[in-house]
Copies of this chain bind each other. A is one copy, B any other.
């Protein structure tokens, strides 16, 4: 296995889908929100991605069952015939090396572009490292119009004190090179625990931005479940991505998605 493999599980026609990314990151904020959308609205898995740049390991769940490292692409058809559909990227890992991240993100963009996606929403958490009273949602955009739109939906534009590291940033950056536009949304979180509150705030903003309606009632339940399912290994893995892509000792680093 020398190259990333994408197994297509279902061929599907989509109507100008909006591409939503939520791979594991700080507080699992994005992942929790996207997993919730997938389950509540019954999104369908259409592809699995495996890559030699993923961590060379497996995860073991609480029942002693082994899971391979993977990314998964789901689609979600909208109710109305003229409404845009959705593509959701989730998974239990990200590429470790810069080269691996570029390869995987490039192949995923190829796939979603082929299905007509032109707009990207990437979801993550923004760790403030201290208790959060009311979860703010931060954002950045690939152009001024989208930035304005974010502000209109109560999203605080991030100032210049940091970049967006990992798939949440790279998909947007590489997307611009092929004419795709998009935003990154980040739920404020103390970080390092599965944060249902931040996921809820993020989801609320996402629903107001998109034509989506999801019941957020059971999010806390899902967070508890996720806490059980997600092993320490995943925590460690996420920290590896950070460490690989970033200087140790940078205490003020606040976002990985």
Contacts and interface: CB of A to CB of B under 8 A. Distances in A.
A243 B236 contact: no
Contact of A231 (B147, B160, B228, B247): B160
Copy count, this protein chain:
4
Contacts of A234: 163
Interface in A1-45: 1-2
A56 B184 contact: no
B1 A105 contact: yes
A161 B64 contact: no
A102 B169 contact: no
A64 B141 contact: yes
Given A53-B99, A65-B141, A140-B65, A60 B162 contact: yes
Contacts of A230: 160
Interface in A200-234: 228-234
A66 interface: yes
A247 B240 CA distance: 6
Q: Is the interface of A mostly helix, strand, loop or mixed?
A: mixed
Interface stretch (A75-83, A90-98, A129-137, A187-195): A90-98
B64 A101 contact: no
A116 B170 CA distance: 35
A97 to B, nearest CB: 7
A57 B173 contact: yes
A182 to B, nearest CB: 8
Given A68-B176, A247-B236, A169 B58 contact: yes
Contact of A160 (B172, B229, B240, B246): B229
B66 A173 contact: yes
Contacts of A105: 1, 56
A69 interface: yes
Interface of A: 1-2, 50, 52-69, 95-103, 105-106, 139-144, 147, 150, 157-167, 169-170, 172-174, 176-177, 184, 228-234, 236-237, 239-240, 243, 245-247, 250, 252-253
27 contacts: A1-B174, A50-B177, A52-B99, A53-B98, A53-B99, A54-B98, A56-B98, A56-B101, A57-B163, A57-B166, A58-B173, A59-B163, A60-B162, A64-B141, A64-B147, A65-B140, A66-B142, A68-B174, A96-B98, A97-B97, A99-B100, A160-B228, A163-B234, A163-B237, A165-B233, A236-B246, A240-B247
